[in-house]
Each structure stands twice: as structure tokens, then as C-alpha cells.
């Protein structure tokens, strides 16, 4: 256990070795101080007054303690200012000290004030707080007769009849600075803007609160800004109320006054004051005449003006007159006018008037505009006058509508009716113009029934639009062209015409060829039928003619009845009718049937013919009963 505490005990012993000398020095009695010398004097206090401080020392022969001095102001002017000094000498002389043989109380205190010129003044202080209070006070009042500079303050203290002064002669308790107030000058003017050939009236003001005016010296000069020499100098003996007239063509510009004042205490005022301008007189607009119109189209319309203007300066620099149209509210703001494109009126030396016209340029905003006449001279610093027409004489700027000059489709004019097929692309060429060069776009609309097809194109002057073949169907289409400019969407539209769109004949080729073939086949078949019918008819007619011819040459045969077999009468079977296969033929006359063969005893049928000699008659052929004869 003992080894455990050895390190701690060792640290405590070493700490005690260091603390013992310190405690000994604190507990030891203080030895009495020896005589004070300049080398062993120490600061005993600091006086804080008006931002300044003074460090003071104890008296040279003081054994212990010292005195303190308070001052309420250590930096001030000389205008009757009160500076209060207070000295506390309660610790100046203590019992046992070398000076205490004459008593321990400071019975009197004087101030030694050393002036900037090294002269001194002694001022006796008053003990306050009763006898033996050892607190003394003195109030020093400044005045304008005191020189400005630094004053050194020393104390002379008395112990009964003994005074201690020589120690303070080297170490003043504090110092006080009195400063001079500089003079001030100013210029009061009747105006800050002087017209050419005009007069400026002004008053020179010189002021110094410490120095009487007769003791001041001063001069006042008028300078042009950046000028080298003054236009005029006024001195001390001149009157304070002055005037100056500005004449000439080269006097316009900015001016200042330069004022210099000196007092008798090295005080000085040197400054430039009261700037002002010299300007020319603005022209005077005597009359304005113009052909007023309530509306004015841009580019194409104009107003003519006649303005009478004079310049009171009557200088060589001539006056210029312009007319401008401006969109402005009821309040007129000249500084917002844009005169860049405002036309100049021409001066007529005979009539003494300015005349000319104004045309509203393209792009000028539409709407109401004020009519303003601006007259300016041409001086380096010009002067300007304005005439603003009454509110009821405002004019309205109007837009020019675009013009549609022509439309063609596939290089064919749309003025005449056009026909196209559905396999044609429609290439529109539109010639449009605008005097203001302000076209925004062109629109083409094709309308058929409830169908509306619209195309747009941007450009200028010549516009190209292509409608593909698939866009339209067969029928009549109305064509509408619109040209739109950039003025509030103003629209110029016209019904350009009507076009006819036919179906694509290439799609009908098969049907046409088939129809033609069918027609040709019909003609062929019809011709064959007609030829057969005619042939049969002709055969029938020939047959009838042959029968008739034979009937006239044959002997008369009496018709018998069936079963009648007499020699002179025989029944003849009527020929059977032959019907055509395709269609019924015309009724042909019946061909008489051949006479039956006579009986063996009667060789002739019909009329008897003489028999041929030496030749027997040919055997008679019997016709097939019920069988029609072959066609002739």
C-alpha cells in the first residue's frame, strides 16, 4: 500500500517547494519607499474626458500617494466654452512623509496654464466641500481672443506655507486644445438655369463666428466647368449682391462658383459651390396647320403640315422641325419620344414656314396615336419645344389588307373552271402581296359538302402548296384563298373558284374493254341471227314464186274427194307445213302436191297428152304418204 501512494506524495512535495517562496513574498511586510525620482515614478490614474485621456504622475517630492485632476473638456472651440478643472489632493501628503513636517493637509491649489505661445497664467482654485476637504475646483472660460492651439495644465499645491511646484513643471497633469472655427461661404442664386443672353442674380454670403467680418479676406470667381480662366472675379471690397449677363454663342454649358475666405487665425474656406447651367432659349412654335384625318393607313396615306416656328436667340444655328405620331397615354412624356424616323419639315424662306408630309411607316402599331410637332435648335446643348394636338385630334392608324393577285393550279389559271383527275397532284401557285410587307401566312381551303381540307404556307409574294392525289375525292370542290398579315390577325379572304375532280380512268380500263367486247359480241350474234332470218325469208319468197309459176303452166285438175277414183278427178293431199328450228318463220304459200299416179289404164294425170310414138310411158312413182317434201 505504501508503494501505491508514493507518486502522489512526490507530486505534493514538489508543488509545495514552488508555492512556499510565493507565499513568503505575499506575507512579507512592505519596506518604506525612498525619495521619488523621475526614474521611479509610476502612473497613478487616467483622466477620460471627451474622448481624450491624460496620464499624470505623482509630485516629485511625494513620498506616498498623489493627486488627481478631472477636466470636463479637453478639445473645444473658443466661443465662450466653460472648461472645469477639479483637483483631489487628499493623498498628496501623508503622516510620516518627509513633507508632513509642515502638516498633512493640502491647504491650497493653483493651476498653471501655459499658452500655445509659451506664456503662463496662474489661476487660483477654490476648495470645495468645506475646509480641509483637499478638493479644489476652477472653471476656465474661453473666448475668441484666445489663440488657438494646445494649453498645458500644471498644479501648484500648498501644505500650509510650503508649496510643491517644481515637480509639476516637468509633468503637466493634462492639456487642453482650443481650435479655430473656419469661415464659411455660400452663393444664393435666383435660378439654376440661365438662358442665353439672360442675367444671373446672386448674393455672396461670408460667415465666421469667431472672426469679425472686416478682418476676413475673400474672393468669388465664376468658372465654366473644365474651363481654365474665370469669367469674373469678385473681391472683398465688392458688394455682396451681384449680377452677371451671359452673352454669345459659345457660352452654353455648366458653371460653378469658386469661393475662397481667410480669417486672421489661419482659418480658410476654399470650395466650389452653387452649380448652374447656361442654356439656349427653346424655339417658339407659333402655329400648326395640317389636313387632319381621323384615320391614316400605313405607307399609302399621309398628312401634310405647315408649322411656323421662331427662335428668340436668333442665332446662326438653325431650327429643325419634325412631326411624329406617338402611342402615348394622356400624360405626355417628351423623353420617351423616338425621333429616329420622324420626317423633317422643310423651311420655306419666303413664307417663313416649315412644310412637309408624314407617312406612317410599315410596322407602326395600329390604333390611336397622338400628333406631336417637335421643334429643336442645333446648339451643342439643344433646346426643344413641343406641340401636342388636342385629344380629340388624335388619329387612328389603320392596317392595309394584303392583296391576292392570282391563283393557278398546275400552271393553269383558276379564273376559269378546271377539271382534274384524282390521280393528279394539285400544285397551287398563289401570288399575294402586301404594301407593308407584313404577310404572315397563306391558307388554301377546299370544300366539298361537309368536307373541308385546309393547308397553310409561310413566305412572301409567291406561295407554293401541293395537295396530294389522295386528298380529294371525285366531285365539285370550292377553292377559298386567305392571306393573313401580322396586324392583329387581319384576314383577307376570297372565293377563288370551283374545280371539278373526276375519277381515275385508269381504274375503269378493264370495265371499258369488257363492255366493248360485249357490244361487239352482241353485234356479231345479232348480225348472224338477222342473216339467217333474211336467208330463210328469201328462200321462202323464191319458193312461192316458183309454185306460182308452175301453177300457171299446168292443166287444170279438178280436185276430187277422198276415195274418188275417177279418171278426171283425183284427190290430192295438201303438203305438210315445215316449221323453222330456231324461231317461227313467216307463213309460206302451200306447194300443191303432185298428182297421184293414174291407174294403169290411164297413163296421164290431169290433161291428156298425146302419147309418144314407139315409146312406152315411164312407170309412175308414188309419193311417200305424210312425208313433207324437201325444201326447195
pLDDT at res. 504: 72
**Could you tell me if residue 6 is inside a domain?**
no
Mean pLDDT of the chain: 73
Average pLDDT score over residue span 61-80? 70
The one-character DSSP state at 626 is T
Beta-strand relationship, 491-502 and 418-421: parallel
Q: How far apart are CA 323 and CA 468, in angstroms?
A: 54
Top pLDDT among 119 and 58 is at 119
pLDDT at res. 413: 84
Same domain, 166 and 85: yes
Render pLDDT for 514-570 as a digit per residue (tens, 0 to 9). 777 888 887 888 878 888 888 888 888 888 787 777 766 655 555 555 555 444 444
Same domain, 88 and 165: yes
Query: Where among 179, 200, 226 does a domain terminate?
Result: 179
Q: What is the CB neighbour count within 10 angstroms for residue 156?
A: 18
**Could you tell me if residue 558 is inside a domain?**
no
Answer yes or no: is pLDDT of 625 > 60.
no
Same domain, 86 and 198: no
Q: Give residues with Cβ within 8 angstroms of 244, minimum separation 6.
A: 199, 200, 202, 222, 231, 232
Q: Which of 132-146, 160-174, 444-458 has the least mean pLDDT? A: 160-174
Position 35 confidence tier, pLDDT thresholds 50, 70, 90: very low
**β-pair partners for 184:** 207
Query: Where among 279, 299, 322 does a domain terminate?
Result: 279
Q: Give residues with Cβ within 8 angstroms of 404, minimum separation 6.
A: 430, 431, 432, 481, 483, 492, 494, 496
Q: How far apart are CA 464 and CA 426, in angstroms?
A: 10
Same domain, 200 and 229: yes
Q: How far apart are CA 467 and CA 430, in angstroms?
A: 13
Same domain, 270 and 203: yes
Q: How far apart are CA 183 and CA 260, in angstroms?
A: 9
Q: How far apart are CA 239 and CA 262, in angstroms?
A: 18
**Could you tell me if residue 599 is inside a domain?**
no
**Could you tell me if residue 394 is inside a domain?**
yes
pLDDT at res. 57: 33
pLDDT at res. 269: 93
Same domain, 290 and 338: yes
Query: Where among 462, 477, 506 does a domain terminate?
Result: 506
Same domain, 217 and 321: no
Distances in Å between the alpha carbon of 153 and those of 83, 122, 460, 624? 12, 10, 99, 197
**Could you tell me if residue 463 is inside a domain?**
yes
Query: Any idea what the CATH number is for the domain that residue 492 is in?
Result: 2.60.40.10
Same domain, 299 and 371: yes
Look at the block and give the residue holding cell 432659349: 281
Q: How far apart are CA 382 and CA 317, in angstroms?
A: 10
pLDDT at res. 557: 52
Average pLDDT score over residue span 36-40? 31
> Which three cell numbers, joined as nine digits, stand for 477?
370542290
Q: Which domain range does residue 262 map to?
A: 184-279
**Could you tell me if residue 171 is inside a domain?**
yes
| Overall residue count recorded for the chain in this entry | 632
Average pLDDT score over residue span 246-250? 79
Q: Give residues with Cβ within 8 angstroms of 466, minimum separation 6.
A: 425, 426, 427, 428
Q: Give residues with Cβ within 8 angstroms of 189, minimum separation 6.
A: 200, 201, 202, 274, 276
Same domain, 217 and 112: no
Q: How far apart are CA 34 and CA 57, in angstroms?
A: 16
9-18, 137-146, 542-551 — which one is most confidently predicted on average? 137-146
**Torsion angle of C-alpha atoms 310, 311, 312, 318, degrees rounded to 10:** -140
Average pLDDT score over residue span 613-631? 45
Top pLDDT among 479 and 9 is at 479
N- to C-terminal Cα separation, the chain: 177
Same domain, 407 and 342: no
Angle at 140 between CA 135 and CA 146, to 5 degrees: 155
Q: Give residues with Cβ within 8 angstroms of 583, minimum separation 6.
A: 533
Closest by CA to 111, choosing from 62, 71, 79, is 71
Same domain, 356 and 454: no
Render pLDDT for 374-425 as a digit per residue (tens, 0 to 9). 998 877 777 889 998 887 788 888 888 888 888 888 888 876 678 888 888 8
Query: Any idea what the CATH number is for the domain that residue 351 is in?
Result: 2.60.40
Same domain, 254 and 312: no
Query: Any idea what the CATH number is for the domain that residue 164 is in?
Result: 2.60.40.1930
**Could you tell me if residue 26 is inside a domain?**
no
Secondary structure E strands in 461-605: 462-467, 475-485, 491-502, 558-559, 569-570
pLDDT at res. 87: 82
pLDDT at res. 489: 59
The number of distinct structural domains making up the chain is: 4
**Could you tell me if residue 174 is inside a domain?**
yes
Q: What is the CA radius of gyration of the chain?
A: 74
Q: How far apart are CA 155 and CA 67, in angstroms?
A: 9
Amino acid at each position: 500500500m505504501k508503494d501505491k501512494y508514493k507518486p502522489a506524495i512526490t507530486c505534493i512535495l514538489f508543488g509545495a517547494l514552488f508555492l512556499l517562496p510565493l507565499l513568503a513574498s505575499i506575507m512579507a511586510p512592505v519596506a518604506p519607499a525612498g525619495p521619488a525620482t523621475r526614474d521611479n515614478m509610476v502612473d497613478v490614474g487616467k483622466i477620460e474626458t471627451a474622448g481624450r485621456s491624460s496620464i499624470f504622475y505623482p509630485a516629485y517630492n511625494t513620498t506616498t500617494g498623489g493627486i488627481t485632476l478631472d477636466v470636463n473638456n479637453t478639445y473645444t472651440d473658443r466661443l465662450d466654452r466653460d472648461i472645469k478643472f477639479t483637483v483631489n489632493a487628499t493623498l498628496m501628503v501623508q503622516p510620516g512623509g518627509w513633507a508632513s513636517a509642515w502638516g498633512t493637509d493640502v491647504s491650497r491649489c493653483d493651476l498653471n496654464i501655459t499658452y500655445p505661445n509659451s506664456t503662463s497664467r496662474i489661476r487660483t482654485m477654490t476648495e470645495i466641500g468645506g475646509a480641509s476637504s483637499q478638493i479644489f475646483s476652477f472653471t476656465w472660460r474661453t473666448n475668441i481672443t484666445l489663440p488657438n492651439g494646445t494649453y498645458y495644465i500644471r498644479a501648484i499645491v500648498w501644505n500650509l506655507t510650503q508649496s510643491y511646484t517644481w515637480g509639476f513643471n516637468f509633468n503637466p497633469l493634462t492639456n487642453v486644445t482650443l481650435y479655430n472655427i473656419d469661415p464659411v461661404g455660400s452663393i444664393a442664386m435666383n435660378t439654376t438655369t440661365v438662358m442665353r443672353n439672360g442675367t444671373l442674380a446672386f448674393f455672396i454670403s461670408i460667415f465666421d463666428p469667431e472672426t469679425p467680418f472686416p478682418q476676413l479676406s475673400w474672393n468669388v470667381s465664376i468658372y465654366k466647368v473644365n474651363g481654365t480662366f474665370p469669367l469674373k472675379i469678385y473681391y472683398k471690397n465688392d458688394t455682396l449682391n451681384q449680377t452677371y449677363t451671359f452673352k454669345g454663342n459659345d457660352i452654353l454649358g455648366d458653371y460653378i462658383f469658386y469661393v475662397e475666405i481667410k480669417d486672421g487665425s489661419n482659418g480658410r474656406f476654399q470650395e466650389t459651390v452653387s452649380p448652374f447651367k447656361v442654356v439656349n432659349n427653346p424655339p417658339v412654335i407659333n402655329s400648326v396647320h395640317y389636313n387632319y384625318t381621323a384615320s391614316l393607313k400605313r405607307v399609302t396615306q399621309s398628312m401634310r403640315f405647315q408649322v411656323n416656328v421662331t427662335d428668340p436667340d436668333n442665332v446662326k444655328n438653325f431650327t429643325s422641325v419634325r412631326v411624329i405620331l406617338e402611342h402615348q397615354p394622356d400624360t405626355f412624356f417628351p423623353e420617351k419620344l423616338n425621333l429616329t424616323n420622324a420626317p423633317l419639315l422643310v423651311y420655306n424662306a419666303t413664307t417663313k414656314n416649315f412644310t412637309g408630309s408624314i407617312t406612317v411607316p410599315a410596322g407602326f402599331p395600329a390604333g390611336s396615336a397622338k400628333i406631336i410637332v417637335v421643334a429643336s435648335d442645333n446648339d451643342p446643348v439643344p433646346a426643344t419645344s413641343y406641340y401636342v394636338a388636342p385629344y380629340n385630334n388624335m388619329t387612328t392608324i389603320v392596317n392595309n389588307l394584303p392583296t391576292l393577285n392570282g391563283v393557278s393550279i398546275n400552271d393553269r389559271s383558276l379564273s376559269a373552271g378546271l377539271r382534274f383527275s384524282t390521280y393528279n397532284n394539285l400544285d397551287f401557285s398563289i401570288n399575294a402581296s402586301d404594301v407593308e410587307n407584313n404577310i404572315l401566312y397563306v391558307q388554301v381551303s377546299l370544300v366539298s359538302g361537309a368536307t373541308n381540307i385546309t393547308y397553310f404556307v409561310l413566305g412572301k409574294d409567291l406561295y407554293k402548296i401541293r395537295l396530294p392525289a389522295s386528298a380529294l375525292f371525285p366531285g365539285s370542290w370550292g377553292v377559298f384563298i386567305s392571306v393573313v398579315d401580322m396586324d392583329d390577325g387581319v384576314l383577307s379572304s376570297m372565293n377563288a373558284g370551283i374545280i371539278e375532280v373526276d375519277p381515275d380512268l385508269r381504274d375503269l380500263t378493264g370495265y371499258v374493254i369488257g363492255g366493248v367486247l360485249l357490244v361487239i359480241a352482241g353485234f356479231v350474234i345479232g348480225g348472224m341471227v338477222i342473216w339467217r332470218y333474211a336467208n330463210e325469208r328469201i328462200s321462202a319468197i323464191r319458193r312461192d314464186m316458183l309454185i306460182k309459176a308452175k301453177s300457171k303452166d299446168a292443166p287444170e285438175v279438178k280436185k276430187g274427194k277422198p276415195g274418188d277414183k275417177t279418171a278426171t278427178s283425183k284427190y290430192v293431199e295438201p303438203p305438210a307445213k315445215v316449221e323453222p328450228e330456231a324461231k317461227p318463220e313467216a307463213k309460206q304459200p302451200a306447194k300443191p302436191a303432185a298428182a297421184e299416179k293414174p291407174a294403169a289404164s290411164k297413163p296421164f294425170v290431169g290433161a291428156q297428152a298425146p302419147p309418144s310414138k314407139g315409146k312406152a310411158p315411164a312407170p309412175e312413182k308414188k309419193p311417200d304418204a305424210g312425208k313433207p317434201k324437201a325444201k326447195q
